[in-house]
Amino acid sequence: MKLTIAKEQLVAGLQAVQNVVGSRTTLPILSNVLLSANEGRLELTATDLDVTIACSVNATVERPGKTTLPVKKFFGIIRELPTGEIELDVDEKSVCAIRAGASFFKINGLAAEEFPPMPSFKQARAVSLPQEKLKAMLRKTSFAVSTDESRYVLNGIFFSLKDHKVTLVATDGRRLALTDEETEISAEAQADFIVPTKAINEVNRLLGSTGTVELKYSENQVAFTTAAEGQMGALIISKLVDGNYPNYRQVIPGECQERISLPREEFLGALRRAELMTSDKSNSVKLSFSRNQLAITANTPEVGEARENLAINYKGKDFAIAFNPAYLMDPLKALETDEVAFELIDELSPGVVKASVPFLYVIMPMRMS
């Protein structure tokens, strides 16, 4: 394999794939990136066997071929090279010579045949979405994903594709975020699956603001393929979380006692300030509603307290409820609307945050002792 490639092309390609390579892998080949050169393109692939990422960049290929190189070391070298053309020349022993300007490197690789084969899809179903849309949907849900490894079915985002809608749900058992988007889904493409957090992070990183992303899925894996005019496309393939997502619909409250409209940014700012007066041990803020006023208070014994009043439109009875401020702020940060609607039943029942965009957030309060 022999080719020349512009530095920024190679850097972009490596940046796209190298994240998936762990620092500690049991198989040495998994520390390597697969390079495959053919007809004006260089394809790069990296995998940890759970998630695989591939992309392709422009190159002038003199001699087509394949090899694998230790990605951290290779990327480290390429990043430090001066801007300009880089020549890669790989011999039959998988040793890669790198030439750029006055710099010369030799780096030992492993044969391409040792690299795990690309997962194949049999009888896959597919839907297509604008990249920008999916990115916005992930932004509105991914913060609620559980990181508790003892609840592995919650360690990912639930995708439901049915009834002309893509619905995304994430929950950690204390709050739940849901968003949906209308889209064309054929009868045979209907499906439910859970995409693990690691893959979500990679998809999120590689989604742009233009072009489309195609989701292809089968019984146990999913592929996201991005394509956009004038931009590098990427392919992310991931295993699905094996298990049944809990019936999330049962935790969405039907009716509410109070529906309160709140200015999003002011509410967020007040929570940020109140949070300063919480601690690990005392991590709640109290929301006290009274006629046309919301008082936000935090109180940590031996540290101090915070109090802030917000003028709101409220005619109901006096009422107080406590929340973990982080859980309350997450959706406010993810939304961009001016107002949010807060629906409450009583101090021990789930609260609901809604907005003028497709979004639903259920949050459990804290029981004050």
Partner 1 sequence: MADLTAPSTPPARPAARVILHLDMDAFYASVEQRDRPDLRGRPVIVGSPPDQRGVVCAASYEARKFGVRSAMPSRTAGRLCPQGVFVRPRMEEYRHESREIFRLVAATGVFVEQVSVDEAYLEATALIPPALRSEPDAALEWARPLAEELKRSIREQRRLTASVGIAGNKLLAKLASDYRKPDGLMLIPERDKVAFLRPLPVRALHGVGRVTEEALVGAGLGTIGHLQDYPGDLRHLVGSWGPVLKRFAVGEDDRPLELGDEVKSISSETTFEHDTADRPTLRAALREHADDIARKLERRHLWARTVQVKVRYGDFTTLTRQFSVEEPVVEAREIYRLGCWLLAQHQLVSRPLRLLGLGVSGLAEAQARQLRLSLG
Of 80-99, which residues contact partner 1 (CB under 8 A)?
none
Q: Is 348 left (phi over 0), alpha (psi -120 to 50) or beta?
A: alpha
Nearer Cβ to partner 1, position 218 or 282? 282
The reply on whether position 366 binds partner 1 by CB under 8 A is: yes
Segment contacting partner 1 by CB under 8 A, of 57-65, 97-105, 191-199, 244-252:
244-252
- If the CB atoms of residues 122 and 249 are measured against partner 1, the closer one turns out to be 249
CB of 53 to partner 1, least distance (A): 21
Q: Which of 135, 140, 175, 198 binds partner 1 (CB under 8 A)?
A: 175
Instruction: Residue 158: name the closest of 174, 180, 136 by CA.
Output: 180
Measured CA to CA, the distance from residue 195 to residue 245 in angstroms comes to 11
**The Cα angle at residue 94 between residues 93 and 99, in degrees rounded to 5:** 115
Is there binding between residue 24 and partner 1 (CB under 8 A)? yes
Site membership for partner 1, residue 303 (CB under 8 A): no
The amino acid sitting at 109 is: G
Minimum distance between the CB of residue 274 and partner 1, rounded to whole angstroms?
14
Least distance CB 284 / partner 1 (angstroms): 4
Name the minimum Å distance from CB 150 to partner 1: 4
- Rank residues 24 and 122 by Cβ distance to partner 1 and give the closer one: 24
Nearest CB to partner 1, comparing residues 93 and 367: 367
Answer for the pair 11, 82: CB distance below 8 angstroms, yes or no. Answer: no
Residue written as token pair 């309160």: 260
Of the two residues 23 and 120, which places its CB atom closer to partner 1 in the complex?
Answer: 23
The smaller minimum CB distance to partner 1, of residues 331 and 350, is found at 350
C-beta of residue 233 within 8 angstroms of C-beta of residue 56: yes
Q: Which of 225, 239, 232 is nearest to 195 (CA)?
A: 239
Q: Which is nearer to partner 1, 176 or 222 (CB)?
A: 176
Of 250 and 313, which CB lies nearer to partner 1 in the complex structure? 250
Q: Is 160 in the site for partner 1 (CB under 8 A)?
A: no
Tell me the CA distances in angstroms from 169 to 74, 293, 328, one per residue in order.
38, 33, 17
Spatial strand order in the sheet of 125-130: 65-70, 32-38, 41-47, 51-58, 231-239, 221-228, 212-217, 125-130
Between β-strands 65-70 and 32-38, what pairing exists: parallel, antiparallel or unpaired?
A: antiparallel
Residue 77 near partner 1 by CB under 8 A: no
Which residues in the 246-285 window bind partner 1 by CB under 8 A?
Answer: 246-248, 250-251, 281-284
Cross-strand bridge partners of residue 285: 323
Q: Which of 350, 352, 359, 360 binds partner 1 (CB under 8 A)?
A: 350
| SS3 at position 39 | coil
CA–CA dist 108, 202 (Å, integer)? 28
Answer for the pair 146, 166: CB distance below 8 angstroms, yes or no: no
* By CB under 8 A, residue 73 contacts partner 1: no
Task: Write down the least CB distance from residue 317 to partner 1, Å.
Answer: 22
Angle between helices 264-275 and 325-334 (to 10 degrees): 150
What residue ranges bind partner 1 (CB under 8 A)? 23-24, 147-148, 150, 171, 173-176, 246-248, 250-251, 281-284, 322, 324, 348, 350, 362, 364-369
